[in-house]
Amino acid sequence: MNFAGIPERIPEGKYRVVKGAAAREVEMSETLRFLADDLQLMALSFMAIVYILRIRWLLKFKASRERQAPSGSLNTSSLKGIVYSWANIAMPWSMESTRQMIFFYMQFMIFHLAVAANIGMSFVIPYAPGLIKPILVVRALQALFAAAFLIGCYRMYRRFSNPAIRLISTPDDIFSLGLLTVWSFVSIFAAPNRPDLGEGALRLYFILTAFFLIYVPFSKISHYLYYPFTRFYFGRTMGHRGVYPLKRSPEPKPTRG
């Protein structure tokens, strides 16, 4: 220990802790460093290669051309239809299903935001840990992951309890939902990023993240890969035909009998 009261680094040790007024700095063990760095990069590279090959295969199919002349309002166009179609996911008022089931839409947004935050955290912890150092950031992430875990549990229950949903559920649907639910739960304990208090949660978190990256291209979770393409062609067609962007007309008032 030096005169400032800060422990010097021990070559054989796993951690270097700076106490007192100075900020805490923790060095990962070699196992955790491998899981957080090398393993994640390998899994991410594998996913990128699979996606590149899949997009290359997808682009081999030529899209059909419109045989109908442009129609509808002059305020519509193929380009506006494409932009509107892409933005549709963030406009719950544009679809009747989300307007009438706003609670289900909120679940959808929270769950997917948690997945995005989870992936982002897997890069922040090994490369920029200072970004999640403030306690408010940690608590916000934990609250988001906890909400996603509860939503995952509810959706798992719904999938088994609803006969119609249970009938169309596949093993991949159940496994993917279970994987994301467990991943969200583990992330609650990994978010503080405190390997000095034990590396168990962080190791499990990075193992699940790597498995997630490898498994996603072969599961239904990869639907997001096709979203830009499907919405592009759909929006282009609907814009060309004067349907997109939609114009909501005021709902008729009920008449008195």
Question: What digits encode the pLDDT tens for the residues 230-249?
Answer: 888 888 888 888 877 777 65
Which of the four pLDDT bands, split at 50, 70 and 90, describes residue 21? very low
- For 180, the token pair is 């994301």
Predicted TM-score (pTM) of this structure: 0.77
CATH number attached to the domain at 30-60+68-240 = 1.20.950
Least confident among 138-147, 191-200, 246-255 = 246-255
Question: What digits encode the pLDDT tens for the residues 101-138?
Answer: 888 889 999 999 999 999 999 999 999 999 999 999 99
Q: What count of Cα atoms within 13 Å lies in the side-chain half-sphere of residue 251?
A: 3
Question: What digits encode the pLDDT tens for the residues 168-222?
Answer: 999 999 999 999 999 999 999 999 999 988 899 999 999 999 999 999 988 888 8
pLDDT for 44: 93
Residues 6+ apart with CB under 8 A from 189: 201, 205
64: left (phi over 0), alpha (psi -120 to 50) or beta: beta
What is the average pLDDT score of the chain? Answer: 83
pLDDT for 245: 78
pLDDT for 1: 43
